[in-house]
C-alpha cells in the first residue's frame, strides 16, 4: 500500500514537472528578434548572381555579380560590393556594349543603378571605351550619365572632359565639358 502511494506521488510530481517544462519554454518572437535581428544586415545575399532582363522574350540586359546584397529597409536597394558586369543587347539579341565596375548599387524604386570605382563602358562595334570613377544608369529611359571626369578612347582618338551623357549601347555620346585630340575624316 505504501509503495502504491509512493508510486502515485512520484507519478504526479513527474507529470507536474513535465508540464512545467513544456509550458515554460516559450520564446517571445520580439525577444528573439532583439537578439538575432540586425537592421543593417541585408535581407538577402546571393553569390555568383546572373540576371537577365527581357522584353517580350528578347534579352535586353544581363547582369553578373560575385556578391549581391539586397536590402528592403529603409528602401529597396541591391548592393554589389565585389564588382559587377552588365551586358546590353540590341534588338537582334547581340551584345553591343558592356559596363563593368568594382562597386554597384541598384535603387529599385527609382530604377537607377549607380556604379563607381574603375568604371568602364565599352562599345563592341566601335571599339570605344569610356572610363570614369562614377556613372548612373537610368533603367527607365536607358540613359547613362556622369558629372565626373571621363575619358573616351577609340581608334580615332582620345577625348576627355567633365561629365557625359550617352545611351546604354554607347553608340553616341555628349560631353558636358569636352577636351581632347581626335582625327576627323
Predicted confidence at residue 58, as pLDDT, reads: 86
Cell matching residue 43: 535581407
183: Cα separation from own chain's centroid: 39
Between 44 and 127, residue with greater pLDDT:
127
152 and 65, same structural domain?
yes
81 and 8, same structural domain?
no
68 and 17, same structural domain?
no
State the average pLDDT over residues 67-87: 92
Structural domain for 6, as ranges: 2-33
Does pTM top 0.95 for this prediction?
Answer: no
The CATH number of whichever domain residue 121 belongs to comes to 2.60.450.10
State the average pLDDT over residues 57-62: 90
State the average pLDDT over residues 41-50: 89
Sorted by sequence, the CB contacts under 8 Å of residue 178 that are 6+ apart come out as: 159, 160, 161
Number of domains, the chain: 2
pLDDT at residue 55 above 80? yes
91 and 16, same structural domain?
no
| Cβ pair 178, 161 in contact under 8 A | yes
Amino acid at each position: 500500500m505504501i509503495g502504491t502511494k509512493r508510486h502515485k506521488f512520484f507519478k504526479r510530481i513527474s507529470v507536474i514537472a513535465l508540464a512545467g517544462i513544456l509550458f515554460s519554454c516559450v520564446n517571445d518572437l520580439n525577444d528573439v528578434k532583439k537578439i538575432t535581428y540586425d537592421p543593417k544586415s541585408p535581407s538577402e545575399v546571393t553569390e555568383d548572381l546572373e540576371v537577365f532582363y527581357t522584353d517580350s522574350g528578347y534579352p535586353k540586359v544581363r547582369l553578373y555579380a560575385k556578391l549581391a546584397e539586397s536590402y528592403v529597409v529603409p528602401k529597396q536597394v541591391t548592393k554589389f560590393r565585389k564588382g559587377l558586369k552588365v551586358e546590353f543587347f540590341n534588338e537582334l539579341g547581340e551584345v553591343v556594349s558592356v559596363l563593368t565596375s568594382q562597386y554597384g548599387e541598384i535603387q529599385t524604386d527609382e530604377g537607377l543603378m549607380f556604379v563607381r570605382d574603375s568604371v568602364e563602358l565599352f562599345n563592341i562595334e566601335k571599339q570605344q571605351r569610356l572610363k570614369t570613377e562614377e556613372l548612373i544608369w537610368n533603367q527607365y529611359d536607358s540613359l547613362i550619365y556622369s558629372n565626373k571626369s571621363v575619358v573616351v578612347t577609340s581608334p580615332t582618338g582620345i577625348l576627355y572632359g567633365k561629365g557625359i551623357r550617352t545611351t546604354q549601347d554607347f553608340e553616341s555620346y555628349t560631353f558636358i565639358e569636352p577636351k581632347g585630340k581626335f582625327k576627323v575624316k
